[in-house]
């Protein structure tokens, strides 16, 4: 935009509408003007001088240039730059002041205006949401955060995915600048397979009008649970137990996981108070914040403290099934858990505000808690993971954290009116009906919702309600009304029929409530009266069970119930198409006669039926005679178990006859025999009329009766080979009858039992290689050792350790006198045995060094429990390859638990196995330490070529002992022969400390070279230094062109030496020289295939002046790998003796050429006649040659025996060489 400024009283103005973040440059024209037309010469007499005096204090406007001169009648264009970056939406104004020499308009003020349109900017917390596998029929949710980081209101008009598998809530909302919104995205697959989609977020955002979030997940076949039977009924005597089997079947396509929990209720008579149950409560102790958790019997006796610490423990909850107690600490703002004994305390959820009461949903693995200050009810897994706010409310004046206030308030904006909580205090769960109940201290009401937080409603209104609990079986809700100091209850269905049960003094301050459903008792804490009281469910029998000082400022309270119902196993996994058996046992001990009820809750990962409820009914009666099998018997497949059957008389009775049938719920047990008990006078029989039942009968002869309690019989049952671990077989009595001596039929009951198949015991563990410092080296697992299980000297099982050193001996029958040993006769040594080991063994014998227990065991290679020079020599010869087996096994193992370094003699007593006098359970972590005999420095490596480890277990590097360098020097020809000399030199800084042991291997082509001698160099001491070598050859495969392989002859030379602690190599020089004959036609300049490898060395540790030879450590070794030694030309012409001579029928003729020549080689007889031309005028370069004569003439006929001559004629550029030698052919 262009504005012309003239010398007029009318001020110009600038205005431009901009969007946030835009920069606009506009032109301002500044000129000379008058009364007449522009450029009137009468008016353009004086130049117009000006400069920009000031711009009001704004950053969004600048003018350029800032000064200048406008000649008369002319004008000047100025540039005005508007920058809306970082400005909020709306109208912005400024003033531009021009100062000039205009006598009428000086200064000149120009207003400037900038209209900025605010721009919303959308920011997403995630670019993709990945849900993973989700069961069909189920769903999984994740949260996406949408933020507005712009300067205007962000309006999201729609959030939608491309498929119906993904949904989002909410889909429409608006956000002021710097606000955010949580969007819940749900994946609910209805078809199998992978699903990919994207979430499209449409809004008025300036940066992304359409934002996208990648979505992916997969639908998998869900598990489908089926439970049979759908209800269980027990009819038992007071001293009898009963067991029924629940079968849980998985009819779906994925593994089914389940966990069982039960809730018991008394529908008729009361149980004996306190039988096997405990009361738990919190005790602040009057000096906040120290706190305690205490427990006692239900009648208040035997008080003990299980936890003491700083904090303010409020609500308590008990998980009987897992023997754990959970509590809220409002001072530390955390949720905790420990064992019922107060051990293993864990902080599960942190950074809360004022957690108060807590309730558990054990079948589904969840815990719920109220937060008084945040006004929330939250849920998490029992281990504290997956924390989720279910019901939210307005933060109040007690809130400690501004962050909590903002979070709670933001959440409350999206909640309905019923969900706005005002001081949530007590909490209770109704698992039978899937409901949550809570009290609101400040809101004066009791609320209710589903377990997932949905369908929030007001249940009833009360005056400052606090503690609350549910009796689902009785259909009642109990609560403490602190505003009236009363204990009340109402109907659970609709909150009607509110009745007062107990009225307390005005000094009372009721806190939290607990119900003992079994005994029909309610307990509550009273902060004002410093006590704990209880009463019956109808409000009668009010009594104080705890009083100060045991109860001071108590809040939380919980009852741990022993219960009459149990389930084994309480949890498990069922494969698709398979079933699991759960033994349900009712034990009415301590119960009065009458009727009892309970519900078994089976929580599973079935997305449709996540909790299955099985009602259980128990009727308790009394009997005169009780026949019983053992409560629980265990056994492993293929074993025979003994099951005792007992009789118990409640009054004096003499039985003349008895009939009892025993039903087996599945065929995992087979009857094989029985033994009568001591109370039987005779006439007892046990038979198996069918595979699933047994018949026990007694018929007494004249004067013979059953009239004593005790062992009736011992049943011998064999466990089927296909019995699976955990499989439960119930042994249930039926068809019971008895006749006493008077012909009467006394009441006769049976006490059932269980047989549980268990996995046969196993012995398993890990084997690690020994360390000098003791124990096993975790980085060196030992594979290939045989773990041998024997019993009474007979080998029963053997397994080889795997690549991670693990072994497992499985399927062991429970017996006595087992033993496990680890062995390996030979193999697997690698390059562990070196001359260094011989050095250590020899000096240990001399007493100049001390070995660890494991080192001593490795040095004793003859197994005589002593270390002698013979051990050192044997180790040295094993390194050289002179021997390939020790007098004992190559490997030795001992239990890792054995303290081999207790004293210097402990290694001699190291056991080679573990004894198991009785083996009837798994023996895990039976670990061993293993070592190679002869590996005294314990340097064995799992991979060939690994660096030598120091015998002191320190890092092997050049900065320690220094370096030792082995390298080939230049090969040279041996004058007058067809041999060459290959020197190996020794050097390096480590020699300053003294070299006490060395070893290495030379590999060479035996088709090129034949090593005929080894000469030790000048650096090797002549005394007290043992040196030796060994030569071997073997045929190996070598790959040729075209991926074909051929056999090559490989030669090996092993060399080494070791000394006593008083002698060492201390100077660089030739270590040894290899004298080798040329074995083939090799030309000068040919690379000899010779490789120096597997070198090792040991030097003295410490300063030579103070510790020379006192201890040793491995040196860092450098070798010249794959040395390419070039064959030099011979020094002269030569024709060598043939070999063999005499011969029959072939012989080899060797000659050498120092330079290129034309060669002829001819065989003559004694008459001078030419017999055979082997080489005819052939041009050959310098080198070594070999020609074979097969004893035939030019006609390929075998010549007669006798003397022959071979003549070499070599015509070179500088000379002519001729030589003749004699040979003899034999018949």
Q: What is the 3-state secondary structure (H, E, C) of 249-267?
A: EECCCCCEEEEEEEEEEEC
Q: What is the CATH number of the domain that holds 64?
A: 2.60.40.10
**What confidence score (pLDDT) does residue 650 get?**
78
Instruction: Return the pLDDT at 524.
Output: 94
Give every CB contact of residue 903 below 8 A, 6+ residues apart in sequence.
none
The burial class, CB within 10 Å (0-12 / 13-18 / 19+), for 1177 is exposed
> What is the reported pTM?
0.47
Q: In the numeric block, which tokens belong to residue 569?
A: 């196993």
Distance, in Å, from the CA atom of 1135 to the CA atom of 1152, rounded to the nearest integer, reads: 7
Please state, in angstroms and rounded to a whole number, the distance separating the CA atoms of residues 1161 and 1138: 13
Both 205 and 242 in one domain: the answer is no
Domain boundary among 220, 236, 258: 220
Q: Is residue 938 part of a domain?
A: no
N residues, the chain: 1227
Specify the 3-state DSSP secondary structure of 624.
coil
DSSP characters for 556-611?
A: -EEEE---SEEEESSEEEE-TT-EEEEEEEE--TTPPSEEEEEEEEEEES-SS-SE
Residues sharing a CB contact under 8 Å with residue 917, sequence separation 6 or more, in sequence order: 816, 817
Angle (CA) 194-197-201 rounded to 5° is 155
Can you name the residues that pair with 765 across neighbouring β-strands?
807
- Residues near 363 by Cβ (< 8 Å), separated by ≥ 6? 259, 260, 261, 431, 601, 602, 603, 611
* Structural domain contains residue 946: no
Straight-line distance from the first to the last Cα atom of the chain, in angstroms, rounded to the nearest whole number: 124
158 and 196 co-located in one domain: yes
Residue with tokens 């009225």: 503
> Is 988 found in the same domain as 1117?
yes
Let me know whether 629 and 615 are in one domain: no
Instruction: Give me 752's structure tokens.
Output: 């059932």
Chain position carrying tokens 């949530």: 424
- DSSP per residue over 914-963, as a string? EEEEEE-S-B----EEEEETT-TT----SSTTPPPPPTTS----TTTT-E
Q: Are residue 303 and residue 439 in the same domain, yes or no?
A: yes
Question: Which among 576, 595, 621 is the end of a domain?
Answer: 621
Q: Which two tokens stand for residue 925?
A: 């972590």
Tokens describing residue 304: 């003990």
The b-or-e profile of 691-703 (16+ CB within 10 A means b, else e) is eebbebebebeee
| Overall domain count for the chain | 8
Q: Which of 1106, 1126, 1146 is the last residue of a domain?
A: 1126
Q: Are 522 and 534 in contact (CB under 8 A)?
A: yes
177 inside domain: yes
- Residue 266: count other Cβ atoms within 10 Å of its Cβ: 23
- Residue 517 is predicted with a pLDDT of 77
653, burial (CB in 10 Å: exposed 0-12, middle 13-18, buried 19+): middle
The pLDDT averaged over each successive group of 10 residues in the chain (1227 residues) is 36 44 47 40 43 66 86 84 78 84 83 85 94 91 93 93 94 93 94 94 94 95 94 81 91 92 57 57 65 88 86 88 86 91 91 93 89 91 92 50 44 47 92 91 92 91 94 89 94 93 90 85 90 92 86 84 80 92 84 81 90 90 83 88 90 90 90 94 92 92 89 94 86 89 87 86 95 92 95 93 94 92 91 91 87 95 92 91 91 96 92 93 94 94 43 35 80 74 89 88 87 91 86 78 70 88 84 86 74 83 39 80 63 89 93 92 94 94 90 94 95 92 93
Do 474 and 327 lie in a common domain?
Answer: yes
Answer yes or no: do 632 and 736 share one domain. yes
634 with 613, same domain: the answer is: no
* CB-CB neighbours of 208 under 10 Å: 14
- Tell me how far CA of residue 143 lies from CA of 156, 181, 349, 721, 1164, in angstroms: 17, 10, 20, 51, 103
* Tokens representing residue 1017 in the block: 């160099």
> Which phi and psi (to 5°) does residue 333 adopt?
60, 45
CATH code: domain of residue 636: 2.60.40.680
Residue 949, domain member (yes or no): no
Residue 292 has a pLDDT of 87
Q: Is residue 273 part of a domain?
A: no
Burial of residue 351, with CB atoms counted within 10 A of its CB: 0-12 exposed, 13-18 middle, 19 or more buried: exposed
d(CA 719, CA 540): 54
State the Rg of the chain over Cα.
Answer: 49
Contact indicator for 6, 18 with CB cutoff of 8 Å = no
Asked if residue 212 and residue 90 are part of one domain, the reply reads no
User: In this structure, is residue 940 part of a structural domain?
Assistant: no
Judge contact between 627 and 646, C-beta under 8 A.
yes
Could you give the 3-state DSSP secondary structure of residue 737?
strand
Give the bridge partners for 346, in sequence order: 337
On whether both 439 and 493 belong to a single domain, the answer is: yes
CATH number at residue 832: 1.10.1330.10
- Same-domain status, 259 and 136: no
Q: Is 1216 exposed, middle or buried (0-12, 13-18, 19+ CB in 10 A)?
A: exposed
> Which residues are paired to 877 by β-bridges?
none
Q: At 416, which CATH number?
A: 2.120.10.30
Domain limits for position 895:
763-916+924-932
Residue 245 is assigned to a structural domain of this protein: yes
Q: What are the backbone angles phi and psi of residue 364, rounded to the nearest 5°?
A: -100, 5
* DSSP class per residue in 742-788: TS----EEEE-EEEEE-PPP-EEEEEEEE-TTSSEEEEEE--SPEEE
> Does 939 fall in a domain?
no
Answer yes or no: do 57 and 191 share one domain: no
The DSSP bridge pattern shows strands 794-800 and 786-791 to be antiparallel
pLDDT (0 to 100) of residue 284 = 73
């Amino acid at each position: 935009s262009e504005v012309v400024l003239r010398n007029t009283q009318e001020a110009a103005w600038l205005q431009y509408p901009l969007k946030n973040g835009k920069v606009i440059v506009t032109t301002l024209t500044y000129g000379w003007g008058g009364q007449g037309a522009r450029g009137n010469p009468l008016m353009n007499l004086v130049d117009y001088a000006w400069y920009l005096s000031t711009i009001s204090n704004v950053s969004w406007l600048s003018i350029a240039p800032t000064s200048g001169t406008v000649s008369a009648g002319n004008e000047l264009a100025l540039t005005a730059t508007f920058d809306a970056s970082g400005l909020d939406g709306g109208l912005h104004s400024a003033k531009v002041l021009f100062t000039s020499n205009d006598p009428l308009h000086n200064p000149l003020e120009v207003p400037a205006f900038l209209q900025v349109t605010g721009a919303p900017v959308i920011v997403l917390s995630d670019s993709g949401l990945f849900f993973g596998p989700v069961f069909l029929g189920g769903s999984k949710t994740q949260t996406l955060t949408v933020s507005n980081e712009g300067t205007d209101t962000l309006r999201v008009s729609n959030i939608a995915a491309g498929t119906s598998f993904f949904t989002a809530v909410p889909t429409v909302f608006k956000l002021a600048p710097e606000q955010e919104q949580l969007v819940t995205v749900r994946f609910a697959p209805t078809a199998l397979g992978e699903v990919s989609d994207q979430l499209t977020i449409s809004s008025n955002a300036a940066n992304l009008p359409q934002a996208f979030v990648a979505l992916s997940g997969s639908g998998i076949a869900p598990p489908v649970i089926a439970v049979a039977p759908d209800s269980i009924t027990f009819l038992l005597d007071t001293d009898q137990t009963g067991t029924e089997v629940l079968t849980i079947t998985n009819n779906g396509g994925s593994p089914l996981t389940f966990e069982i929990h039960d809730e018991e209720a008394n529908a008729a008579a009361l149980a004996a108070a306190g039988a096997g149950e405990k009361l738990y409560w919190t005790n602040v102790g009057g000096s906040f914040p120290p706190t305690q958790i205490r427990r006692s019997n239900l009648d208040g006796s035997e008080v003990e403290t299980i936890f003491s610490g700083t904090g303010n423990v409020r609500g308590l909850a008990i998980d009987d099934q897992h023997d754990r107690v959970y509590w809220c600490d409002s001072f530390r703002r955390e949720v905790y858990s420990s064992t019922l004994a107060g051990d293993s305390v864990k902080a599960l959820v942190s950074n809360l505000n004022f957690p108060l009461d807590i309730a558990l949903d054990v079948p589904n693995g969840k815990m719920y808690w109220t937060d008084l200050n945040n006004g929330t009810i939250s849920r998490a897994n029992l281990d504290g993971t997956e924390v989720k706010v279910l019901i939210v409310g307005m933060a109040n004046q007690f809130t400690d954290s501004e962050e909590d206030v903002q979070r709670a308030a933001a959440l409350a904006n999206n909640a309905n009116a019923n969900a706005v909580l005002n001081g949530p205090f007590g909490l209770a769960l109704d698992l039978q009906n899937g409901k949550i109940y809570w009290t609101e201290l400040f809101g004066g009401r009791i609320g209710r919702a589903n377990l997932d937080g949905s369908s929030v409603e007001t249940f009833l209104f009360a005056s400052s309600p606090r503690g609350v609990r549910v009796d689902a079986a009785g259909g009642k809700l109990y609560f403490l009304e602190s505003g009236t100091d009363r204990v009340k209850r109402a109907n659970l269905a609709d909150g009607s029929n509110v009745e007062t049960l107990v009225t307390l003094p005005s000094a009372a301050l009721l806190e939290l409530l607990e119900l003992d459903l079994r005994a029909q008792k309610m307990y509550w804490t009273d902060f004002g009266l410093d006590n704990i009281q209880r009463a019956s469910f109808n409000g009668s029998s009010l009594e104080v069970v705890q009083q100060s000082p045991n109860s001071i400022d108590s809040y939380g309270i919980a009852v741990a119930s022993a219960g009459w119902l149990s389930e084994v196993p309480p949890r498990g996994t069922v494969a698709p198409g398979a079933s699991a058996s759960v033994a349900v046992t009712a034990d009415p001990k301590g119960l009065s006669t009458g009727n009892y009820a309970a519900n078994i809750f089976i929580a599973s990962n079935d997305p449709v039926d996540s909790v299955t409820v099985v009602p259980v009914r128990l009727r308790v009666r009394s009997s005169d005679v009780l026949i019983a099998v053992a409560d629980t018997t265990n056994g492993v497949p293929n074993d025979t178990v003994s099951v005792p059957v007992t009789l118990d008389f409640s009054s004096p009775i003499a039985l003349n006859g008895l009939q009892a049938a025993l039903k087996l719920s599945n065929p995992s047990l087979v009857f094989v025999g029985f033994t009568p008990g001591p109370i039987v006078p005779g006439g007892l029989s046990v038979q198996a009329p069918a595979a699933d039942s047994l018949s026990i009968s007694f018929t007494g002869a004249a004067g013979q009766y059953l009239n004593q309690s005790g062992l009736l019989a011992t049943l011998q049952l064999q466990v089927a080979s296909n019995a699976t671990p955990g499989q439960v077989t119930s042994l249930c009595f039926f068809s019971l009858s008895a006749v006493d001596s008077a012909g009467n039929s006394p009441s006769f009951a049976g006490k059932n039992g269980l047989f549980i198949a268990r996995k046969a015991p196993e012995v398993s563990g890990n084997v690690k290689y020994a360390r000098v410092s003791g124990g096993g080296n975790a980085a060196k697992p030992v594979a290939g050792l045989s773990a041998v299980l024997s019993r009474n000297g007979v080998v029963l099982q053997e397994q080889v350790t795997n690549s991670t050193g693990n072994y497992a001996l499985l399927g062991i029958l429970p017996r006595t006198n087992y033993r496990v040993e680890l062995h390996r006769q030979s193999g697997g040594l690698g390059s562990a045995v070196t001359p260094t080991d011989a050095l250590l063994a020899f000096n240990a014998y001399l007493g100049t060094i001390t070995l660890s227990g494991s080192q001593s065991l490795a040095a004793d290679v003859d197994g005589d429990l002593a270390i002698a020079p013979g051990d050192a020599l044997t180790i040295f010869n094993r390194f050289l390859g002179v021997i390939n087996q020790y007098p004992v096994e190559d490997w030795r193992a001992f239990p890792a638990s054995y303290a081999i370094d207790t004293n210097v003699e402990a290694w001699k007593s190291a056991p080679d196995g573990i004894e198991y006098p009785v083996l009837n359970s798994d023996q895990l972590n039976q670990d061993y330490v293993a070592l190679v005999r002869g590996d005294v420095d314990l340097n064995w490596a799992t991979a060939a070529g690994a660096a030598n480890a120091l015998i002191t277990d320190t890092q092997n590097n050049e900065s320690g002992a220094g370096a030792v360098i082995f390298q080939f020097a230049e090969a040279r020809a041996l004058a007058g022969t067809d041999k060459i000399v290959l020197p190996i030199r020794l050097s390096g800084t480590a020699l300053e400390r003294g070299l006490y042991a060395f070893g290495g291997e030379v590999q060479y082509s035996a088709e090129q070279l034949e090593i005929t001698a080894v000469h030790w160099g000048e650096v090797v001491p002549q005394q007290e230094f043992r040196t030796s070598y060994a030569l071997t050859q073997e045929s190996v495969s070598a790959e040729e062109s075209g991926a074909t392989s051929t056999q090559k002859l490989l030669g090996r030379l092993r060399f080494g030496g070791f000394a006593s602690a008083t002698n060492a190599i201390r100077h660089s020089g030739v270590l040894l020289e290899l004298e080798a004959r040329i074995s083939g036609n090799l030309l000068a300049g040919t690379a000899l295939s010779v490789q120096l490898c597997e070198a090792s060395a040991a030097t003295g540790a410490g300063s030579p002046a103070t510790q020379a030879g006192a201890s040793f450590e491995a040196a860092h070794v450098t070798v010249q790998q794959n040395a390419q030694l070039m064959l030099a030309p011979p020094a002269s012409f030569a024709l060598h003796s043939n070999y063999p001579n005499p011969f029959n029928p072939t012989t080899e003729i060797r000659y050498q050429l120092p330079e290129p020549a034309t060669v002829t080689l001819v065989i003559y007889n004694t008459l001078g006649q030419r017999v055979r031309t082997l080489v005819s005028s052939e041009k050959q370069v310098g080198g070594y040659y070999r020609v074979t004569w097969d004893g035939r003439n030019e006609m390929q006929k075998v010549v007669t025996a006798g003397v022959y001559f071979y003549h070499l004629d070599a015509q070179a550029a500088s000379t002519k060489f001729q030589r003749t030698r004699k040979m003899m052919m034999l018949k």
